[in-house]
Structure 1
Amino acid sequence: MTVTEPTPARVSRPRQQRGEGQWAKGYFTPLNGNEQTKKDDDGLNVRARIENVYAYRGFDSIDGGDLRGRMRWWGLYTQRRPGIDGGKTGILEPEDLDDKYFMLRVRIDGGRLDLDQLRAVAEVSEKYARGTADVTDRQNIQLHWVRIEDVPAIWRTLEGVGLTTAEACGDVPRVILGSPVAGISAAEIIDGTPAIEEISERYIGSPEFSNLPRKFKTAISGLQDVVHEINDISFVGVVHPELGPGFDVWVGGGLSTNPHFAKRLNAFVTLEEVPEVWAGVCGIFRDYGYRRLRSRARLKFLVADWGAEKFREVLETEYLKRELSDGPAPEPAPAYDRDHIGVHVQKDGNHYVGFAPRVGRVDGATLAKIADLAEAAGSNRVRTTAEQKLLILDVAPDRVEELVSALEALDLQVRPSVFRRSTMACTGIEFCKLAIVETKKSASNLIDELERRLPDFDQPLTINLNGCPNSCARIQVADIGLKGQLVLDEHGEQVEGYQVHLGGHLGAQTKDPKDVEDGAFGRKVRGLKVTAAALPDYVERLARRFQEQRHEDETFAQWTARASEADLS
Structure 2
Amino acid sequence: MPTRTPTRDQGQWAVSGRSPLNSDEVLKQEADGLTSRDRVISTYSKEGFGSISQEDLFARLKWWGVYTQRKQGIDGHRTASLTPNELSDDTFMMRVRIDGGQLTTEQTKVLGALSHEFGRDTADITDRQNIQYHWIRIEDVPEIWERLEAVGLRTTEACGDVPRGFLGSPVAGIAADEIIDPTPTIRGIVDQWIGSPEFSNLPRKFKTAVTGHPSIDIPHEINDISFVGVVHPELGPGYDVWVGGALATTPKLAKRLGVWVSQEEAPEVWHGVVSIFRDYGYRLRRTHARLKFLVEDWGPEKFRQVLEDEYLHRKLHDGPAAHPDGSPDDHIGVHAQKDGNVYIGFAPTVGRLSGPKLTAIAEAAEKAGSHRIRLTPYQKLLVLDVLPERADELVAELQQLGLQAHPSSFRRATMACSGIEFCKLAFVETKGLAARTVDELERRFAGETIEPPITLNINGCPNSCARFQVADIGLKGQIIKGEFGFQVHLGGRLETGRHLDESRLGRTVRGLKVTSEELPDYVERVVRSFLAHREEGQDFAHWAIEAPEEQLA
For normalisation by structure 1, the TM-score amounts to: 0.94
1:416-427 pair list within 5 angstroms: 416-427=407-418
2:486 match: 498
1:538 match: 522
Return the alpha-carbon distance in structure 1 between the equivalents of residues 312 and 469 of structure 2.
34
Counterparts in 2 of 1:277 and 1:293: CA distance versus 1, 3 Å: same
Aligned 8 A contact 1:235 1:250 in 2: yes
In the TM superposition, what is the alpha-carbon distance from 1:186 to its structure 2 partner? 1.3
Aligned 8 A contact 1:126 1:365 in 2: yes
In the TM superposition, what is the alpha-carbon distance from 1:510 to its structure 2 partner? 5.8
In the TM superposition, what is the alpha-carbon distance from 1:17 to its structure 2 partner? 4.0
Q: Secondary structure at the match of 1:143?
A: strand
2:168 match: 178
Return the alpha-carbon distance in structure 2 between the equivalents of residues 561 and 160 of structure 1.
50
> Is 2:296 aligned against 1:293?
no
2:552 match: 568
Matched AA of 1:471: S
2:218 match: 226
Pairing partner for 1:385 from 376, 380, 385: 376
Pairing partner for 2:402 from 411, 426, 432: 411
Q: Say which one has the larger Rg.
A: 1
Identity of matched residues, %: 60
Q: Secondary structure at the match of 1:524?
A: strand
Return the alpha-carbon distance in structure 1 between the equivalents of residues 259 and 511 of structure 2.
42
Return the alpha-carbon distance in structure 2 between the equivalents of residues 563 and 111 of structure 1.
38
Return the alpha-carbon distance in structure 1 between the equivalents of residues 421 and 69 of structure 2.
9
Q: Secondary structure at the match of 2:242?
A: strand
Q: Secondary structure at the match of 2:117?
A: helix
In the TM superposition, what is the alpha-carbon distance from 1:16 to its structure 2 partner? 9.9
Aligned 8 A contact 2:97 2:153 in 1: yes
Aligned 8 A contact 1:480 1:504 in 2: yes
In the TM superposition, what is the alpha-carbon distance from 1:500 to its structure 2 partner? 0.1
In the TM superposition, what is the alpha-carbon distance from 1:331 to its structure 2 partner? 2.8
1:337 match: 328
> Is 2:263 aligned against 1:271?
yes
Deviation string, structure 1 residues 385-411 (Cα, Å, up to 9, x no partner): 000000000011111101111011111
1:478 match: 471
Count the aligned residue pairs.
545
Return the alpha-carbon distance in structure 2 between the equivalents of residues 57 and 363 of structure 1.
29
Deviation string, structure 1 residues 357-386 (Cα, Å, up to 9, x no partner): 010000000000000000000000000000
2:71 match: 81
Return the alpha-carbon distance in structure 2 between the equivalents of residues 28 and 90 of structure 1.
32
In the TM superposition, what is the alpha-carbon distance from 1:26 to its structure 2 partner? 2.2
Return the alpha-carbon distance in structure 2 between the equivalents of residues 152 and 508 of structure 1.
39
1:99-178 pair list within 5 angstroms: 99-178=89-168
In the TM superposition, what is the alpha-carbon distance from 1:544 to its structure 2 partner? 0.7
Return the alpha-carbon distance in structure 1 between the equivalents of residues 324 and 160 of structure 2.
34
> Is 2:181 aligned against 1:191?
yes
2:245 match: 253
1:5 match: none
Q: Secondary structure at the match of 2:511?
A: coil
Pairing partner for 1:461 from 435, 454, 461: 454
In the TM superposition, what is the alpha-carbon distance from 1:88 to its structure 2 partner? 1.6
Unaligned runs of 5+ in 2: none
Return the alpha-carbon distance in structure 2 between the equivalents of residues 240 and 16 of structure 1.
37
RMSD: 1.2
Deviation string, structure 1 residues 395-440 (Cα, Å, up to 9, x no partner): 1111110111101111101000000000000000100011111100
1:241 match: 233
In the TM superposition, what is the alpha-carbon distance from 1:508 to its structure 2 partner? 6.8
Matched AA of 1:446: T
Unaligned runs of 5+ in 1: 1-14, 489-493
Return the alpha-carbon distance in structure 2 between the equivalents of residues 120 and 396 of structure 1.
24
Q: Secondary structure at the match of 1:113?
A: strand
* Moved beyond 2 Å, runs of 4+: 15-18, 331-334, 508-511
Return the alpha-carbon distance in structure 2 between the equivalents of residues 534 and 466 of structure 1.
16
Return the alpha-carbon distance in structure 1 between the equivalents of residues 81 and 108 of structure 2.
39
Matched AA of 1:505: R
Deviation string, structure 1 residues 468-499 (Cα, Å, up to 9, x no partner): 000000000000000000002xxxxx111000
